[in-house]
Amino acid sequence: MIYSLLALSSPCSGQGSVTALRFAQAVIERDHQIQRIFFLDEGTLAGASSMVSPQDENDTVQLWANFAIKHKVELILCVSSALKRGLLDSGEAERYEKTAATVHPAFEISGLGQLIDASVASDRLITFGG
């Protein structure tokens, strides 16, 4: 079965982002596939390279990045949600004449078309957070 995930929750509040990651790991462990993981609204903070987790908490940004690299899964941040939260990749930073990118390199910024494409190419689209 092919899954796509939609993550709406900030990794800073609640368990939505961590639950999505655990679900993604379980999908892979059961020999299913993940088409794409799309982060929308507060969920885009999962890609913030400037986020620093307290010592007693998991670094969710790095956990997502490690997962994506290991399993070759796309992590897509909604462009409008990301920009509203100050999240810029190198292209967006240059476009808006900002001094630095603030998105972890494992994440990409793209539009809602990526979510639609993922839902069409998947058997299931699962949403986390709200």
Active site residues per annotation:
78
Question: In this structure, are residues 44 and 7 in contact, taking their beta carbons and an 8 Å threshold?
Answer: no
Residue type, 4: S
Classify strands 74-78 and 2-7 as parallel, antiparallel or unpaired. unpaired
Rounded-to-integer distance, Cα 3 and Cα 1, Å: 7
Rounded-to-integer distance, Cα 57 and Cα 62, Å: 12
Question: In this structure, are residues 69 and 61 in contact, taking their beta carbons and an 8 Å threshold?
Answer: no
